[in-house]
Amino acid sequence: MAVEAIKEQLKRKVEVRVTEGKKIPHLAVIIVGNDGASETYVGNKVKTSAEIGFGSTLIRLESDIAEVRLLHEISLLNSNDEIDGILVQLPLPKHISEPRVIETINPAKDVDGFHPVNAGKLVQGLDSFVPATPYGIMLMLEHFGIETSGKHAVVIGRSNIVGRPMSILLSSPRAYGNCTVTICHSKTKDLASFTRQADIVVAALGQPGFLKADMVQKGAVVIDVGITRVPDATKKRGFSIRGDVDFESVAPLCDWISPVPGGVGLMTIGALMTNTLKACELRD
Amino acid sequence: MAVEAIKEQLKRKVEVRVTEGKKIPHLAVIIVGNDGASETYVGNKVKTSAEIGFGSTLIRLESDIAEVRLLHEISLLNSNDEIDGILVQLPLPKHISEPRVIETINPAKDVDGFHPVNAGKLVQGLDSFVPATPYGIMLMLEHFGIETSGKHAVVIGRSNIVGRPMSILLSSPRAYGNCTVTICHSKTKDLASFTRQADIVVAALGQPGFLKADMVQKGAVVIDVGITRVPDATKKRGFSIRGDVDFESVAPLCDWISPVPGGVGLMTIGALMTNTLKACELRD
């Protein structure tokens, strides 16, 4: 599986760094409050760091923390030479400005790639930290050798975190880019008329089972970014994770499809760790 | 004409500022070497500044200037309180790194909107300086009340200066945005199959007369960003300006079309001046 290959590679790179007497990559994660999904994501990031030999620091803050105190925590991490990557788990409580928090992170440690400087460099084709989900999808395309140049990709969703950077990456002059890209969203009329023309569909709208068989052409590549929790009495935890694609009906049509859970979600963590190693190497 | 309305409005705002004892907006333009087209653009910027009552400073540097000296000139402008907007006319001689020059400009004075911070804020829907050409097109859509929400826009070209920001603006949740946008470029296969489906076509590829009648559907809105100089013995200056659209054949099909010369080119200067006023106001 793609993510195992990436983790294996990162692990080896850490081992080489240790042999060479270089610093071990270290990721700092801040979580504010205790949202269930956020806890899971943060837990996975800390666990994966350990698996591949990265150091990690988890900072837990109360949900009613003052914004200025959160910003201060970030400044401490910015100036802490031990820390290579800083990640503030989103969403944040409503009384805190997410843009202000993100802009406080040193862009050179912004392994989530959400700082405007990194977003801008991505648009301009300059070297930057690419947000983990779209970067994970690019690594997946690369791992499975999925040809993209000259293909028509339809991206559903225009979020800053997934849809927008995905549409930029796929349409840029780069490896696993060079697609003609159509970006669709809630204001799109007759969305199926676009997806039916697509060689590649990226579904990132957060509506479980949205993409159905009659919206996809035969031979398409379908990438499912959805990870919605839906109530499920048959599960001990009370919910299942569902993607934006109606997998059962769509999969038989596809040349290639990413499953949920286990597809893009896993790659996202691989991408974050790759960014953290990169941040560390840039500071060598 | 749209640009006259904008200039009139800017002029009045300057007059009000003068009455209120506030600072007059001041644009600094740096030109390196003496490329013919660049001279024309820079000349128009200085002339327009005077027309609407802005101050302006033109700094001419030799084409063999050392990069470090150019960067030093920019730093002086960054720290000069009289200067609100700084613009370095592109392209620059090959021995100078354009990204390095652009990143040296204080983002708060970057009225061209080319600094990664401004490009990133644009992508993220945050307040920023929008590059003059796409911003001028947005002002044009607004001036003529051209409905965009839910329309399918096809942008031809993926440059950092026009195609890319244009595709972002038109697809963003904002006034004169909310289009479904397809971004096409040199790697696009069967480009006409995309433009023929478009409600709005933005041609920004720099190939004179590229967009022909058989590539456009009846009732389309066509925006021509091309401004190529083509040899023309009938003109005293020896060339004419041609757009990317074959105007004679395409215009009869269109609901609305922007001419070249005189369309987007003029709006671009209006947009730049609007950005300069904004930079000045932000410093009040």
pLDDT tens-digit map of B107-165? 999 999 999 999 999 999 999 999 999 999 999 999 999 999 999 999 999 999 999 99
Q: How far is A252 from B80, CA to CA, in rounded Å?
A: 64
Q: What is the mean pLDDT of chain B?
A: 97
Active site residue A197: no
Give the per-residue pLDDT at B272: 98
What percentage of chain A reaches a pLDDT higher than 70?
100
CA distance A189 to chain B (A): 6
Cβ–Cβ contacts within 10 Å for residue A118, how many?
Answer: 28
Is residue B187 very low, low, confident or very high in pLDDT (cuts 50, 70, 90)?
very high
Give the per-residue pLDDT at A2: 86
**What helix, strand, coil percent values describe chain B, rounded to 5?**
40, 15, 40
Q: Which amino acid is at A127?
A: D
Residues of B within 8 A of A123 (CB-CB) are 119-120, 122-123, 160, 164-165, 168
Q: How far is A63 from A94, CA to CA, in rounded Å?
A: 10
Task: Name which of B124, B164, B179 is nearest A160 (Cβ-Cβ).
Answer: B124
- CB spacing of A185 vs B180 below 8 angstroms: yes
Say what the alpha-carbon torsion angle B172, B5, B246, B219 is, to the nearest 10 degrees. 60
Here the ipTM equals 0.95
CA distance B98 to chain A (A): 12
- CB spacing of A120 vs B120 below 8 angstroms: yes
What percentage of chain A reaches a pLDDT higher than 90?
97
Residue in chain A closest to B126 (alpha carbons) equals: A99
Give the per-residue pLDDT at B1: 64
Span B53-79, mean pLDDT? Answer: 98
Q: What is the mean pLDDT of chain A?
A: 97
Q: How far is A124 from A135, CA to CA, in rounded Å?
A: 16
Residues of A within 8 A of B165 (CB-CB) are 123
Residues of A within 8 A of B117 (CB-CB) are 116-117, 120
Give the per-residue pLDDT at B274: 98
Q: Which amino acid is at B249?
A: S
Angle (nearest 5°) at CA A205 between A63 and A179: 125
First to last CA, chain B: 31
* Topology annotation, domain B17-106: Rossmann fold (3.40.50)
Residues of B within 8 A of A187 (CB-CB) are 149-150, 173, 178-180
Angle (nearest 5°) at CA B153 between B261 and A220: 140
pLDDT tens-digit map of A145-199? 999 999 999 999 999 999 999 999 999 999 999 999 999 999 999 999 999 999 9
Give the per-residue pLDDT at B2: 86
Residues of A within 8 A of B99 (CB-CB) are 124, 126
Q: Judged by CB atoms within 8 Å, which residues 154-193 of B form the interface with A?
A: 158, 160, 164-165, 167-168, 171-173, 178-185, 187-189
Is residue B275 very low, low, confident or very high in pLDDT (cuts 50, 70, 90)?
very high
Is residue B241 very low, low, confident or very high in pLDDT (cuts 50, 70, 90)?
very high
Domain with CATH 3.40.50.10860 in chain A: 20-108
Span A75-95, mean pLDDT? Answer: 97
Cβ–Cβ contacts within 10 Å for residue B141, how many?
Answer: 23
Give the per-residue pLDDT at A1: 64
Residue in chain B closest to A167 (alpha carbons) equals: B183
* Topology annotation, domain B132-265: Rossmann fold (3.40.50)
Q: How far is B103 from B73, CA to CA, in rounded Å?
A: 13
Domain with CATH 3.40.50.10860 in chain B: 17-106
Span B264-280, mean pLDDT? Answer: 96
Give the per-residue pLDDT at B198: 98
Pairs of residues, one from chain A and one from chain B, whose beta carbons lie less than 8 Å apart = 111
CATH 3.40.50.720 fits A133-263, yes or no: yes
The CATH classification of domain A20-108, taken from the options 3.50.50.60, 3.40.50.10860, 3.40.640.10, 3.10.350.10: 3.40.50.10860
Active site residue B11: no
- pTM higher than 0.90: yes
The residue from B112, B199, B244, B246 that is catalytic is B112
Asked if residue B178 lies in contact with residue B148, where contact means CB atoms within 8 angstroms, the answer is yes
